[in-house]
Structure 1
Amino acid sequence: MKKAFVSGLSRFKRLLVGLSLKADNVGYESPPVFSGKWPKITNKGRIYIARNCSFRSFRTRQHITVTKDAILEIGRNTFMNDGANLCATLSVKIGRNCKIGDMAYIFDTDFHQVSPQHPAKRAPISIGNNVWIGARSTILAGADIGDHAVIAAGSTVVGEIPAKTLAGGSPAKVIRALDVPDDWVRD
Structure 2
Amino acid sequence: MGLVKRIKYTISAIKLIPYKILYGNRLNTGKQINLGSKTKIVVTKCGKIEIANDFESKRFCYLSVQSGCMIIGQHCFMNQNVSVTCLKQIEIGVNCIIANNVVMVDHDHDTVNGGFVSAPIKIGDNVWIGANSVILKGVTIGNNAIIAAGSIVTKDVPANAIVGGCPAKVIRYKEG
Q: TM-score, normalised by structure 1?
A: 0.82
CA-CA distance at 1:24 after TM superposition: 4.7
CA-CA distance at 1:8 after TM superposition: 8.4
Select 1:46's aligned residue among 38, 45, 48: 48
CA contact (8 A) 1:21 1:27 kept: no
CA distance in 1, matches of 2:99, 2:51: 18
Unmatched segments (≥5 aa) in structure 2: none
Aligned partner of 2:152 in structure 1 is: 156
CA contact (8 A) 2:139 2:155 kept: yes
> One-letter code of the match for 1:42?
V
Match status 1:88 vs 2:86? yes
CA distance in 2, matches of 1:84, 1:7: 22
Give the 3 Å change call, closer, same or farther, for CA 165–118 of structure 1 in structure 2.
farther
| Divergent runs of 4+, >6 A | none
Q: Percent identity, aligned pairs only?
A: 33
Aligned partner of 2:107 in structure 1 is: 109
CA distance in 1, matches of 2:14, 2:75: 20
Unmatched segments (≥5 aa) in structure 1: 181-187
Give the 3 Å change call, closer, same or farther, for CA 16–63 of structure 1 in structure 2.
same
Give the 3 Å change call, closer, same or farther, for CA 118–142 of structure 1 in structure 2.
farther
Give the 3 Å change call, closer, same or farther, for CA 33–153 of structure 1 in structure 2.
same
Give runs of aligned pairs for residues 50-65 of structure 1, distance below 5 A.
50-57=52-59, 61-65=60-64
CA contact (8 A) 2:58 2:80 kept: yes
- How many residues are paired up? 170
CA distance in 2, matches of 1:105, 1:144: 15
CA-CA distance at 1:34 after TM superposition: 2.3
CA contact (8 A) 1:154 1:169 kept: yes
Give the 3 Å change call, closer, same or farther, for CA 174–104 of structure 1 in structure 2.
same
Match status 1:32 vs 2:33? yes
Give the 3 Å change call, closer, same or farther, for CA 14–40 of structure 1 in structure 2.
closer
3-state DSSP class of the match of 1:17?
Answer: helix
Give runs of aligned pairs for residues 140-155 of structure 1, distance below 5 A.
140-155=136-151
> One-letter code of the match for 2:53?
R
3-state DSSP class of the match of 2:58?
Answer: strand
Aligned partner of 2:17 in structure 1 is: 19
Deviations, residues 135-179 of structure 1 (Å, cap 9, x unaligned): 000000001000000000010111110000100011110000002
CA contact (8 A) 2:9 2:34 kept: no
CA contact (8 A) 2:97 2:128 kept: yes
CA contact (8 A) 1:39 1:63 kept: yes
Give the 3 Å change call, closer, same or farther, for CA 24–177 of structure 1 in structure 2.
farther
